Amino acid sequence: MTQSRRTRIFYANHTGRVSGGERVLLSMLQVLDRRQYEPYVYCPRDGELSRHAEALDVPSLQAPPLHARFTWRPNRLLRYAASLWRTISAMRNAIGKLDPDLVHANSLRAGVVATLATIGTGRPVIWHVHDILPKHPLSTAIRLIAYRSKRTRIVAVSYFAARAFCGNLPFRNRVQTIHNGIDLNCFPLKTPGSSTFRREFGISDDAFLVCAVGQSVRAKDFVS
């Protein structure tokens, strides 16, 4: 009897640089059950993501860089469209060679490319939504690409991100919220009186503290 192969997952990321979304991806790869799943990371070599993936014994595949941002300038839109087409073609070729069972796009840009690159293949695609779409006509186009593809599912990192992504489109059960996991081994419980932070700021041991971790930028909306 031949043993069936493990589920092959193609993790696509539009950049090789490591930021919040990429750290989430690496944390998922770290705990992925390799007895059932066979992961591959597809990203440009413009950062350290591929090196971190390979340190976790996850093969990395080189992707062309995607130069695409929100803009109102027609000349830039044309350049971004050309870059998008190149990345779609390259990903379609990579997926055809690897033959994965599932494509997991770890950003909105990777999601657009993955859904368009797999047209006609019937292959399921998951968009991992970490960001909030800005108010722009292209945001509507991005939502429509995901909505019109019945193979595409959305995993959002928060309920707010899920609502913001859906807009007025009835995605219904095609959108799920899964909060980012935390490795509690990195944050051991402290015994009362041992917190240097509380002593420095004069906070009593029985006071309840709430911590928000992220970049102090306007998009995070820490103070509303």
Structural domains for the chain: 7-183 (3.40.50.2000)
- What pLDDT sits at residue 1? 44
Q: Tell me if 125 sits within 8 A of 146, measured CB to CB.
A: no
Indicate whether this model's pTM tops 0.75.
yes
Check pLDDT > 60 for residue 224: no
Beta strand pairing status for 102-105 and 7-12? parallel
Share of the chain above pLDDT 70, in %: 88
CA distances from 12 to 54, 64, 223 (A): 15, 12, 32
Single-letter amino acid code for the residue at 65: P
pLDDT, mean of residues 18-32: 94
Distance CA 197, CA 213 (A): 15
Q: What is the largest CA-CA distance in the chain?
A: 67
Mind listing the pLDDT tens digit for each residue in 152-164? Answer: 999 999 999 999 9
Q: Tell me if 153 sits within 8 A of 124, measured CB to CB.
A: yes
Q: Which two tokens stand for residue 12?
A: 């696509």
pLDDT, mean of residues 175-192: 84
